[in-house]
Amino acid sequence: MPSGTNQFNVSLREFAHDIKRNFHSGIPAQPEDQLKPGVQAVLKAAAPKIETRTEVHTPDVEGRPDIGVNSNRLLCGYVELKAPGKGARPQRFTGADKKQWEKFKAHPNLIYTDGNEWALYRSGKPWPEDNPAFVQFSGDITTDGKGAISDGEAQKLHELLIAFFNWQPIVPRNAPQLAEMLAPLCRLARADVLRAIPKWFWKKQWREADTQLFQN
């Protein structure tokens, strides 16, 4: 039974093989949903002790990225999936994907991937800042399967994932640092709360405010 990086390489190529098969099955499905089980398996192959969970998305609340990752029973980060071909570089996104990035970039430890490209972001900045480690497979897993990934590319992805799992939160040393750290996360939570409040509630508040205004 292969172990360590060898097991990771095997799992990564199995993921690519399954994605190719799924995309040619003719069964309609969301591209991101087809990536979820395989990406979770790749994460587990890189670090068997981590735990993953998929997030449920609703129309009114954009929620969290697609996969949450726990290390030592503590949340260490998220993985956001994109349809193959979209890439993992938010500066190239448009429309809903760009809007979503403006929200998700507040997360301190976040991986973006479309299956073919992988990138790690920390508070909106690619990691490491001096030389971002974008991992781009030489082929396309939806058409090339196992052949899309070289040994060198698999090794680079393994290193990126280990860095993701080993993230340590930065402990603020004073009140200004704490405020700076919490501000983007508070904005993220505020946006979800506002989306979750039904429209009838706001209409009721406006009617009551109008009534009080005219009474005064």
**Is residue 181 within 8 Å of residue 188, measured between CB atoms?**
no
The DSSP annotation for 37-96 comes to HHHHHHHHHH-TT-EEEEPPP-SS---S-SEEEEETTEEEEEEEE--TTS-S-GGG--HH
More confident residue, 149 or 169: 149
Residue 12: partners with Cβ closer than 8 Å, 6 or more residues away = 42, 45, 149, 154, 157
**pLDDT above 70 for 212:** no
Q: Which pLDDT score, from 0 to 100, does residue 172 have? A: 57
Name the residue among 157, 215, 162 with its Cα closest to residue 9: 157
Q: Which pLDDT score, from 0 to 100, does residue 59 have? A: 46
Task: Determine which helix (DSSP H) or strand (DSSP E) holds 188, and give its type and residue range.
Answer: helix 175-196
Mean pLDDT computed over 21-41: 89
As given in the structure block, the two tokens for residue 138 are 């030489």
**pLDDT above 70 for 174:** yes
* Exposure class string for 41-53: b at 16+ Cβ within 10 A, else e: bbbbbbbeebbee
pTM of the predicted structure, to 2 decimals: 0.78
Confidence of residue 79 (pLDDT cuts 50, 70, 90): very high
10-14, 74-78, 194-198: range with lowest mean pLDDT: 194-198
Q: Whole-number mean pLDDT of the chain?
A: 83
- Burial class from Cβ neighbours inside 10 Å (0-12, 13-18, 19+) for residue 61 reads middle
- CATH fold for domain 4-165: tt1808, chain A (3.90.1570)
**pLDDT above 80 for 3:** no
Structural domain spans, the chain? 4-165, 175-215
Mean pLDDT computed over 132-145: 96
Q: pLDDT for 98-123, tens place per residue?
A: 999 998 998 899 999 999 999 999 99
